Structure 1
């Protein structure tokens, strides 16, 4: 029998105890497996490559068959099974979920708002994940919640009793479990803004206190979204989109979904009425929105074969995150300049910071971006104090790989081909068909787009680059586009080779870098510097004290390691030239200027 003709899986979720951060959830199966129906909660959420064990937040669980108590047994850390039951009974599981994770990945509930990803709250029904799902989102009880609304890209359940209206509580529908968990939900007294892009309504949902100029934000996002839609070709693959944004004092994060994104931002990063120019914080927030929106195509629909379908019970390994996250990280800021939201000079400033961040980590000489992609589950998402010395970011270096590839495609074809053509090919061949990208698929796409002469050469270069650890020849490539590359020390002070932890003013070492003076002297991450040459030192005074020294000088450092006072003699060194700045060449030739305009837009 076609799954559409089978009874849907029915869910109900209610913010039962906002003060205790508890959602009450139920899952009802009209035709459960008589041999014993199994339920599972995902162990991770797509887009965030780490096993998170969401089932640990289920604090109680019970089962009923036709309203009567029924025994349910736990099989493993995230699976339950109702004991065998007679045919024809209706099985319901009722459970409470603790929701106090203020992030874009899980669930959060208090008296001010509620937020959840389906992976945190909706049990999957084994053998029935292809069924349609109905979910009744209920309002919290009490007069204080009378003004709450709902924001989600979940489709309304039209024609169903209790069906929700736009922004309302009630019943929503999903075609299957995969869709159900790909539409996060925000509820509360949020601020709502709108804009149209390529005929599609886009909502901006802001939860938390703010003074945002919604008109300015909507106009800037409209331009970015329209540019991305035009890149891949209209119409976009969704008929509605929502930017679900939690505004806090200090925060940053985003997670992509098929028709929405969950965002966390600092209120200072939002635009305000009368704001002049384009502050760095606002550029950062626009880049985050652009990044998650680009994922609508790249990773939500153009997927690695390893993700088609997802197995949410365990790690799903691929060596391609440098393309799916890295290429997205390249296009996020590029979309800002090509859409005219920021200037070419703004863009080059952002790009210089990305280059600098990659150069600061010695892990780039030990781990390739392909290895970083494969090891995301255990290394990138579980970074420790040695991370800068051991790993490379497939986001940041992946973006630079995309940059180098784009520049070579443009220069080698006299501007006729670019990475845009590769992305469009991937969209047509994989995004629109649902066929996953093989581990060699990016190399094949580049070979095809580049043509008989350029294609094989660039495909070989790309494979060698992503599987190796060499630095990218960015200075040479950018020169051909009339861009000057300058590298200099980030500080005039001599180099100690450490990074301090953010904190209460104490000079606690967060990282000790390979090959640096501190490591050579025996200092370790976690040490707290208390004196330099007999004078008290803190996080703010350390640089001032080092400015009075020169490379080659020996200084005596006193530190606390645990509760023991230790002293070290450190010979300071030259500060590495790892701060990169990029700017247009004053005298660029006609060919370079033409290529630069093709890359950054007519204003470049």
Structure 2
């Protein structure tokens, strides 16, 4: 097996060497940035004598839904090496077929880009904010060729380039293949740079924010590095970056679209921030989340995302782990580094746990099946109403509370086990080796780490099924209180608000709630509640507060077709779960809590 792998490696190296001089060459210019346009030229050379299929992507690394990037491409032209115009035909909305070339195709188009986020691109006179699948076309069959990209920057705007692409000088950059190119977001602006060497590799911040100061940037970088070092402590080492550098691409501009998107050696962290607002700790939670991804999802990689398709949606049943466990560590790493206080962190846990426990979606899907919903919810667009509020729980939140439960379960066994060391073990088995995993692999690694009985019970109940751990008991053993702040207060289970048509639900009726059982839906207009006719000045909270859980009240409402109805509504106890430091915890619980939250 070792000899076979060596042979394959040598053949691959030879193949790459033979084609090393044939690059796909890109050139981007931004002369009309004021109107959100870029001019993009691509040279495809040394082509076979057949139709060249040029495409825009329909999906983007870190996203799972389909996005139609081709809609913003126009003024498309193609010529051969002699400047002769070539015929272009359209087989589908995402593709341009170029025939009759002489072995070279110069492909040119205009790109419109006006949404600076993690998924789309945004171009104006302040920056060129480029997510590559939303920016660059590519050719089928040429995806293994190396790539050169030349950025004609706006020198009048003092633009500089930040990207994970390898810098060749003169604003020209290199990618080993099309996949790496598509995975390499690029921020071109008047940037602030900060960097630090950690174990022979560079951690770099490239920050775009007008109206900030060097002192603010220095403080921001130090806060970021505190998180970086705490995450390194979990895994025992940094990942190995392909060109020795990891870059935070942080864009905080008034017209930016809030987002965070992980990539192999960089991340886009974006927020709409007014120029006059101080930098402070803007999006620091997102910085924490995305950096954790350079281990968990970029290298500890679900098999279901290999290979990633740029032509269709990407579905994975492991997002509860890839995104959810990363979400668990997001705040924990901030707490350990001092970015937030341990009190802030602990106080924020109860709401998420209470939400997942009480969400009706667990009756429909377990965490794996929730992960399968990503192509429909991950910035996906549709115009028809859905019932997602009843059938879906975000795999970010669901996975984060399961990560919390697993960590507490391991720690309360008092045998030295914890989630940090399990993550490090998975890193050694699947991350450093870059062997993609399945859910069964994660269960097998847990069996090896904590015992087969524990692994089978945890995965059997909470991953393969949708049962919930005993959080009250786990929190108590960790020195954390877990209480319902709304104990004894009555609730209808859903919110109603004065809207254009009258008093209506703010969303779909929640399965199992008093409102749901009464047969009322979001389009119905509620006329009276507990004998009180609702007017513009009505206070719903006061009406409900006059009753207690278990009381039955009358509700009158009008259907959309005009029929008026009356139902009985039995009030339930309101749910508002909170957590906090338990001052009365015993010595063991306090010791566990300290070991969990302390700085490494």
Q: Aligned partners of 1:342 and 1:460: how far apart in 2?
A: 34
| Partner of residue 220, structure 2 | 217
Moved more, 297-306 or 58-67: 58-67
Residues 74-93 of structure 1: pairs in structure 2 closer than 5 A:
74-86=90-102, 89-93=103-107
Q: Does 1:36 align with 2:55?
A: no
How many residue pairs align between the two structures? 572
- Deviation string, structure 1 residues 428-469 (Cα, Å, up to 9, x no partner): 22222222113411111111111xxx3442244224311212
Q: Secondary structure at the match of 1:447?
A: helix
Deviation at 1:483, TM superposition (A): 2.1
| Partner of residue 340, structure 1 | 338
Residues 492-503 of structure 1: pairs in structure 2 closer than 5 A:
492=489, 494-495=491-492, 497-498=494-495
| Partner of residue 146, structure 1 | 157
Residues 482/28 of structure 1: CA separation in 2 closer, same or farther (3 Å cut): same
| Partner of residue 419, structure 1 | 419
Q: Does 1:232 align with 2:238?
A: no
Q: Does 1:511 align with 2:526?
A: no
Residues 483-562 of structure 1: pairs in structure 2 closer than 5 A:
483-489=480-486, 492=489, 494-495=491-492, 497-498=494-495, 509-526=506-523, 533-537=532-536, 541-548=539-546, 552=551, 554=553, 556=555, 561=560
Q: Aligned partners of 1:400 and 1:176: how far apart in 2?
A: 38
- Deviation string, structure 1 residues 116-147 (Cα, Å, up to 9, x no partner): 1111121222222122111111235xx8x433
- Deviation string, structure 1 residues 278-303 (Cα, Å, up to 9, x no partner): xxxx5x83222111110111111111
| Partner of residue 430, structure 1 | 430
Moved more, 495-504 or 236-245: 495-504
Q: Does 1:595 align with 2:592?
A: yes
- Deviation string, structure 1 residues 3-29 (Cα, Å, up to 9, x no partner): 242311101122243243222212111
Residues 457/240 of structure 1: CA separation in 2 closer, same or farther (3 Å cut): closer
Moved more, 377-386 or 97-106: 377-386
Gaps of 5+ in 2: 1-13
Residues 476/588 of structure 1: CA separation in 2 closer, same or farther (3 Å cut): same
Q: Aligned partners of 1:459 and 1:154: how far apart in 2?
A: 43
| Partner of residue 131, structure 1 | 145
| Partner of residue 7, structure 2 | none
Residues 531/341 of structure 1: CA separation in 2 closer, same or farther (3 Å cut): same
Q: Does 1:52 align with 2:67?
A: yes
Q: Aligned partners of 2:599 and 2:117: how far apart in 1?
A: 39
Q: Aligned partners of 2:184 and 2:487: how far apart in 1?
A: 42
- Deviation string, structure 1 residues 460-501 (Cα, Å, up to 9, x no partner): 422431121212221122222222221243894632523669
Q: Does 1:473 align with 2:470?
A: yes
Maintained 8 Å contact 1:558/1:565? no
Gaps of 5+ in 1: 165-170, 276-281
Moved more, 288-297 or 474-483: 474-483
Maintained 8 Å contact 1:253/1:263? yes
Moved more, 495-504 or 31-40: 495-504
| Partner of residue 87, structure 2 | 71
Residues 52/242 of structure 1: CA separation in 2 closer, same or farther (3 Å cut): same
Structure 2-normalised TM-score?
Answer: 0.86
Residues 354/364 of structure 1: CA separation in 2 closer, same or farther (3 Å cut): same
Maintained 8 Å contact 1:510/1:526? no
Q: Aligned partners of 1:21 and 1:84: how far apart in 2?
A: 33
Q: Secondary structure at the match of 2:427?
A: helix
Q: 1:244 aligns with which of 238, 243, 250?
A: 250
Residues 361-376 of structure 1: pairs in structure 2 closer than 5 A:
361-376=359-374
Residues 8-27 of structure 1: pairs in structure 2 closer than 5 A:
8-27=23-42
Deviation at 1:515, TM superposition (A): 2.1
Residues 234/505 of structure 1: CA separation in 2 closer, same or farther (3 Å cut): farther
Deviation at 1:527, TM superposition (A): 5.2
Maintained 8 Å contact 2:490/2:545? yes
| Partner of residue 298, structure 2 | 300
Residues 73/569 of structure 1: CA separation in 2 closer, same or farther (3 Å cut): same
Moved more, 490-499 or 29-38: 490-499
Q: Aligned partners of 1:501 and 1:252: how far apart in 2?
A: 29
Residues 204/172 of structure 1: CA separation in 2 closer, same or farther (3 Å cut): closer
Deviation at 1:396, TM superposition (A): 0.7
Structure 1-normalised TM-score?
Answer: 0.85
Q: 1:7 aligns with which of 14, 18, 22?
A: 22
Q: Secondary structure at the match of 1:205?
A: strand
